[in-house]
Amino acid sequence: MNTGKWIVTLFAGIALPLGASSEALTEVDEIVERANLAAYYSGEDGRSEARMMIEDSQGRRQLRQFTVLRRNEEPGGDQDYMVFFSRPSDVRGTVFLVAKHMDRDDDRWLYLPGLDLVRRISASDKRTSFVGSHFYYEDVSGRNPALDEHRLVETTDAHYVLESTPRDPAAVEFVRYVTRVDRETFLPMKTEYYDGQDRVYRVMEVAQVEDVQGYPTATRSLISMPLEGGSTLMEFRSIEYDVGLPEDIFSERYLRQPPTRWLQRDGG
Amino acid sequence: MRFAPAVLFCSGLLLFVGGDDPALAKDPGAGTADDPFTGFEEADWDDPWDEEPQGLDWSGFIESAAGARWNDVSNLDRLTLGEFRVRAETRHVAEHYRIDFKGELLWDQVVTDLDAQVRELAVSFTPARFMDVKIGRQVLTWGTGDLLFLNDLFPKDFVSFFAGRDEDYLKSAADTARVSFYTDVVNLDLAWTPDFAPDDYLYGERFVFWNPALGAAAAPATPRRATAPGDDEFALRLFRTVGPTEYAIYGYDGRWKQPLGADADGRPIFPRLRSWGASVRTPWLGGLFNAETAFYDSLDDPRGDDPRIPNSELRLLLGYEQELVRNLTGGIQLYAERISDHDRLIENAPVPARAREEWRSVATLRLTHRAWRDALTSSLFIFVSPSDEDFYLRPSINWRRDDHWSLSGGVNLFGGREEHTFFGQLEDNSNGWFRLRYNY
């Protein structure tokens, strides 16, 4: 079953051969596919530590710290994610499990250690706050490219500039978004979301990209809200790809009993 | 009327920790339009991750809580919740085992008592690839109901639940050995509790309940506690997830978790109970559907003709939950209990008019709204029983100000046409509460 590829990070490297050509691509679908793979499907699996600094519009700051495990079924296809929270203290021990599906709603579970409760989450809207941050669940596990129509509006020296509009506008809070995809790494480096009045109200920017085992990986990124104020900075470290995560890690057993071996650095 | 001291505790808590809020001390500037990343320095992360963990890492909270009933009742105070609580948690993770600890020190103004409680002290290990073991004091939960329990016969603390303590306290800890087996076909959980762990039921220190001898809902002059027998209880669950659908089969051998029986002298006892059940949970129509059933076999009254022992009963539950609009989730449940041998129950009941009906039905509705990126959570839980003509409303609101401070408030409102029904007997316990917590 290990034919798949997985994500550890929310923004990861490229699954396809790197730098195969410096000639500009003109097919928008290929750019979108490669950007999706670059951002969410590096390696067959992976683990990473992550932390977020959330700043609200009044400047108050909060922290989140967690470890992410990811495993791919196949490149660009279904994936499993597991997020183990270590900070702050009121969510320590909480574990979030997602089975991401291309053809139906994701399955999501939350383990609450205080009650020893495995709660199934019914929320179908993935554009809601991920643990109180400005990242959405969908920013973490990736938005299915088939949900939007994409157009290549410009090719600069460094970037492909894509404009995307939702196929179902009622299902999302944006009218369109514009993404700058790095021509070398295919990582989306900046995404601006526009509201009904054509204002940019939400921006995702990548500040730092590192090479991890040959996969260019965004290790520092920021979501900011220019209109309402507030932002969340997310950082990754101790990233490892192709660690050989067993498929059965992503199950109720390991919600209750964290897989210590796979959570430690150099664990595999 | 001992409400005032509880308020003083809260103010004391504020003074105690109010000056030590790192979130307030931070420079609010997040950066400039040119470089959004300026302003985030390594020192801002109060937990730099270069640091390897050393020794035991303690966390927990300090909480002050107050609550009061609206009505005066004899033998009881207006205060239903008045406490100051300190929680400490830690864990030791080694290569082949793990130890978890959660302990609390609680000053309870309602019973004017200082109490130390161990909520968790358990060792976990994996003796074989297919097997997990957790032994010690721990909280266990299973089943698919939302605040309705069929196959979950682990101890519950209804005193905490009705008083407005955190919902975590609905589940009590017990000294249990849990052994789990995982195979490709099915998984098995076994939980053995050597010393029967009853619910924290209403015994009259804080809340009134139906008193058959008085023919009224009242608090007895001395708390009505039953002696827990020293025998063991055993629970099992066979479970499997196929695609998105979760299936489970349950079993239990022990006692009714509340002293629903009486001995020859009329003293409350815990009669023997054996139960079997099953559940399924699966995504459906953009939400989640669940169904669960259990048969409670009341071993001490197999014919159902002993008025001092509860009859066997069948329990049925259907539930559905869906996100209605962004950040608003709604859930409904339909629940029913059917008493076995109801005709014999009526024949033998001392007061047939007050005996339970053959069917008891309950419908619940839960609405949960999350705002401000989940910092403000509002919830309304409604229990309504068409058969008993009674209800229980449970609105609450929680504001998580930052990583340290949170404030919660809510109401427990009970009512019913008659004084002896499940929720109706609790009418004089209707109360309002609030809690202030500092997480460290």
Q: How far is A266 from chain B (nearest CA, A)?
A: 14
CB contact under 8 A, B439 and A90: yes
Higher per-residue pLDDT: B335 or B21: B335
A182 touches B: beta carbon within 8 Å: no
HSE (side-chain half, CA atoms, 13 Å) at B1: 4
What would the mean pLDDT of B411-432 be, rounded to a whole number? 94
Q: Which of B61, B244, B375 sits opposite A107 (nearest CB)?
A: B244
Answer yes or no: are the C-beta atoms of A120 and A111 closer than 8 Å. no
Please give the structure tokens belonging to residue B376. 């403000």
Spatial CA neighbour of B193 closest among B222, B223, B217, B172: B172
Contacts of A237 in chain B (CB under 8 A): 49
User: Please, is B24 exposed, middle or buried when counting C-beta atoms within 10 Å of its C-beta (0-12, 13-18, 19+)?
Assistant: middle
What pLDDT is stored for residue B21 in this prediction? 41
Average the pLDDT over B104-129 and give the result.
Answer: 95
Chain A closest-CA separation from residue B268 CA (Å): 29
Considering only CB atoms, which chain A residues are within 8 Å of B37? 207, 220, 222, 233
Q: pLDDT category, A122, cuts 50, 70, 90? A: confident
Which pLDDT band, with edges at 50, 70 and 90, does A24 fall under?
confident
Inter-residue contact A79 to A250 (CB < 8 Å): no
Q: What is the pLDDT of residues A136-153, one digit of tens each?
A: 999 988 999 999 999 999
**Three-state secondary structure call for residue B281:** strand
Mean pLDDT of chain B: 88
CB pairs under 8 A between A and B: 146
Query: What distance in Å separates the CA atoms of residue B320 and residue B363, rounded to the nearest whole number?
Result: 12
The mean pLDDT of A92-120, rounded to a whole number, is: 93
pLDDT tier at B42, thresholds 50, 70, 90: low
pTM listed for this prediction = 0.88
What is the number of H-type helices and E-type strands within chain A? 4, 13
Task: Give me the pLDDT at residue B17, please.
Answer: 37
Nearest-angstrom CA–CA distance, B138 and B118 = 9
What chain A residue is nearest to B377 in terms of C-alpha separation? A132
Predicted ipTM?
Answer: 0.86
Region B35-50: what's the mean pLDDT? Answer: 60
Q: Are A224 and B24 in contact (CB < 8 Å)?
A: no
- Pick from B31, B45, B140: CB nearest A63: B45
Interchain contact A264–B (C-beta under 8 A):
no
Chain B residues lying within 8 Å of A56, measured CB to CB = 373
pLDDT in tens, B369-379: 999 999 999 99
Whole-angstrom Cα distance, residue A256 to residue A117? Answer: 9
pLDDT band at A34 (very low <50, low <70, confident <90, very high): very high
Beta-carbon neighbour count of residue A227 at 10 Å?
12
* Cβ pair A248:B187 closer than 8 A: no
- What single DSSP character describes residue B173? P
> Which pair of tokens denotes residue A135?
């990242």
Q: How confident is the model over A62-74, as pLDDT tens digits?
A: 999 999 999 999 9
A231 touches chain B (CB under 8 A): yes
Nearest-CA distance from A17 to chain B in Å? 31
Task: Determine what percent of chain B is predicted with pLDDT higher than 90.
Answer: 75
pLDDT tens, B259-304?
A: 999 998 888 999 999 999 999 999 999 999 999 999 999 999 999 9
Write B36-39 long-range contacts (CB < 8 A, 24+).
B36/A203, B36/A205, B36/A207, B36/A222, B36/A224, B36/A231, B37/A207, B37/A220, B37/A222, B37/A233
pLDDT top residue among A80 and A3: A80
Which residues of chain A make contact with B286, given a CB cutoff of 8 A?
A: 105, 124
- Residues in chain A within 8 Å Cβ distance of B439: 88-90
